Amino acid sequence: MSKQDGRSRQVNTTPVDDTGATILHVDMDAFFASVELLSRPELRGTPVIVGGGIGPRSVVSAANYEARRYGVNSAMPMSLALRRCPNATVLPGSYDLYSKYSKQVLAIFEDATPLVEPLSIDEAFLDVAGARRVHGSPSEIAQMIRRRVEAETGLTCSVGVAGTKYVAKVASSRAKPDGMLVVPVAETQAFLRPLSVGALWGVGPTTEESLRRLGLATVGDVADTPYDVLRSTLGEALAAKLHSLANGIDPRSVSTQREEKSIGREVTFSYDVTDEAEIRRAMLHQADDAAARLRAAGLVARTVVLKLRYTDFSTVTKSRTLAEPTDVGRRIYEEATAAWHALGAAGKRIRLIGVRVEQLGESGSGLSLWDPDEDWRDAETTIDEVAARFGKGSIRPAALLRPKKQS
Q: Is 289 annotated as a binding residue?
A: no
Q: What angle do CA 193, 198, 204 make, to 5 degrees?
A: 150
Residues 6+ apart with CB under 8 A from 401: none
Provide the edge-to-edge strand list for the sheet that holds 299-310: 263-273, 350-362, 299-310, 315-326
3-class secondary structure, 276: helix
Bridge partner list, 79 = none
Question: Is 335 an active-site residue?
Answer: no
CA 363 to CA 236: how far, in whole Å? 17
114, 118, 124, 128 alpha-carbon torsion, rounded to 10°: -20
Question: Which residue is catalytic, options 66, 117, 123, 324?
Answer: 123
CB 223 within 8 A of CB 246: yes
Provide the edge-to-edge strand list for the sheet that holds 89-91: 60-63, 48-51, 89-91
Residue 382: closest CA among 395, 365, 368: 395
Residue 302: closest CA among 353, 241, 258, 244: 258
Phi, psi of 238 (to 5 degrees): -70, -40
Q: Is 272 annotated as a binding residue?
A: no
Q: Extract the annotated binding site.
A: 27, 122
Task: Report the catalytic residues.
Answer: 123
Q: Extract the annotated binding site for Mg(2+).
A: 27, 122
